[in-house]
Every structure is written in structure tokens, then in C-alpha cells.
Structure 1
Amino acid sequence: MLEETGTNVSISTVKRVLYRHNLKGRSARKKPLLQNRHKKARLRFATAHGDKDRTFWRNVLWSDEIKIQLFGHNDHRYVRRKKGEACKPKNTIPTVKHGGGSIMLWGCFAAGGADALDAS
């Protein structure tokens, strides 16, 4: 839009204005991909079970699982560095061949509390 009017704005000015408006450069969060059918199923579940009493929820067991990398991590990491400092230890992420392995953790909870984690 500015180019159409012949206005030149430096990159540093754009960065400064974005920073002033609390728009800082960060790595994006990872979230499960929810398609429309997933959202509709969740809404159906909430609608069907929203009026249940406490005795119903005492018999429900909620569970979840997570895969944890034993070495390193699966996400991006941003660093701010000077030219020629790319290989300094503070600017690198160590890796091992073949990923270093991972474990799966499983846990559950109910109205009465949480259960112990189970690793496989």
C-alpha cells in the first residue's frame, strides 16, 4: 500500500512499530489440527453431555498420552546472533544420529483424582 503512494519505509521502522504494538517475533505454537468434522463432533459431545449431573461425571475416566524426545526437541528455536557466530555453542542445537529415541507417557484422571503415569 505504501509503495503505491511512493512512500519508502525502512525495515527497522516497520520492526520498531510492530514491537511498539506488542507484535514480537516468536516461534509459532504447535496445536492439533482440528478439521470441521472434529469441531462438530466436539460440539455434539458438549451439547449431549452438558446437562449431566455430578454422579455421571464421577464414572468418567479421561486419559491422554504424549511422546517425549529423549534428546533434543522437535520444535524451532530462534536465536539472535551476529554474523560469523553461527557455530558458537550458544547459537546451536545439539543433535544425535537417529534422533536419540523417545518414550510415550500415558496418564488419566477422574473426579476422584489422577492416576500414576505409565511409560512404554
Structure 2
Amino acid sequence: MRARCPLVVPVLTAQHCAAQLALSREHQSWQIRHWHPVLFTDESRFTLSTCDRHKRVWRRCGERYAACNIIHHERFGGGSVMVWGGICLEGRTDLHMLANGTLAAVKCRYEILRLIVRSYPGAVGPGFLLVQDNARPHVARVCRQFLDDKGIDAIDWPSYSPNLKPIEILWDVMYWCI
């Protein structure tokens, strides 16, 4: 046996599981053409220092201080950057870097919904659907009102279900490639 890092997962309640199952059953008969106009969006934080002490190196005895076996890192983390992006079957949005590394409801409405998402339905065509998670800025009254005013339909996504969103897998791939 070898020491391994444990998998970290959110605590799911019975309501979370029921909501995920309901969403899956509701969309189980969808074909590719139904998913074509769906834009999956999310934001993610990336640390600028890649040393998380989970990287491993293979080395021989006496090679501990060889340059290829040393990982340099900033002593106090080196900062982070938060980005927002969206993907669909036919393409993607540009990554949008969030100033100050936070996303509040008003900033979400102005920087994300108004400047990026509002123009996307015209490019995708009829039947456009927006998928966001249930983060507080996304479900805030100002954001919901903006979507309603602009006629943008959104799929109500259940809480704690990142495994159902393809963009979450993309963030994971990007994280491990940094």
C-alpha cells in the first residue's frame, strides 16, 4: 500500500441527490440537437503558485538536491486569478478574468451577463439555454431579472452537482495542466 491524497467531495443531502436525479430524468431523452444551443458557464480560481505539495518526483538515492527534483514555490502562495468561461458543443466563450478575484451579483450582471452572455443567443440561434451553477451571484435577483428582461432562458441546475456539468471537467483538466 502507498500513501495517497484522499478524494475531497461535497456532502450531499437527500434533497441534492433527488434534484440531480430529477434533472437527469428530465433530460435523459435529449439528443445532440437538444444540447446544441446549451451554454455551460462557470468561474474558477487558479493559483499562480503551482506548489500544492501534491506533486511527486521519481528519483534515485543521492539525487534529492538535483535541479530536476526541486519544485520552487512562493512562500506565501503567490496569489491567484479567477476566470469565467463558457462552453457549448460548437465552441466556447473567451475566458474573462474577474478583477479583484471575486464575483458579486452586480459584477456578474454587468461584466458577464450584459457584455458576454447577452450576445451569445444570436450566435447560437433559437432555443438558446444558459446553464449556471447555483452560486449566490448567479441566483441573485438582479441577475435573474436581467435574464428575464432579455428573454434568456436558463436551466435550473441543482446544487452540488459539478459532475453533471462538462465545464467542471474542463476546469479540472486546465488545473492539472498548469
TM range, normalised to the smaller chain? Answer: 0.5 to 0.7
Matches within 5 A, 1:94-109: 94-109=72-87
* Residues in 2 aligned to 1:79 and 1:111: alpha-carbon distance in whole angstroms: 37
Report the counterpart of residue 25 of structure 2 in structure 1.
47
- Structure 1: runs of 5 or more not aligned: 1-14, 16-24
| CA apart distance, 1:55 | 7.8
- For the pair 1:63 / 2:41, whether they are aligned, the reply is yes
- Structure 2: runs of 5 or more not aligned: 99-178
* Residues in 1 aligned to 2:68 and 2:23: alpha-carbon distance in whole angstroms: 47
Over 3 Å counting, the alpha-carbon distance change for 1:91 and 1:54 in structure 2 is closer
The normalised TM-score by structure 1 is 0.55
Flag as ranges the 4+ runs of structure 1 deviating above 4 A: 25-28, 52-59
* Residues in 1 aligned to 2:61 and 2:89: alpha-carbon distance in whole angstroms: 55
Report the counterpart of residue 78 of structure 1 in structure 2.
56
* Residues in 1 aligned to 2:78 and 2:47: alpha-carbon distance in whole angstroms: 7
- Structure with greater helix share of residues: 2
Q: Indicate if the aligned counterparts of 2:51 and 2:73 stay in contact, CA closer than 8 A.
A: no
* Residues in 1 aligned to 2:24 and 2:37: alpha-carbon distance in whole angstroms: 17
The normalised TM-score by structure 2 is 0.41
Secondary structure at the aligned position of 1:99 is classed as coil
Over 3 Å counting, the alpha-carbon distance change for 1:31 and 1:40 in structure 2 is farther
| Residue type at the aligned position of 1:98 | F
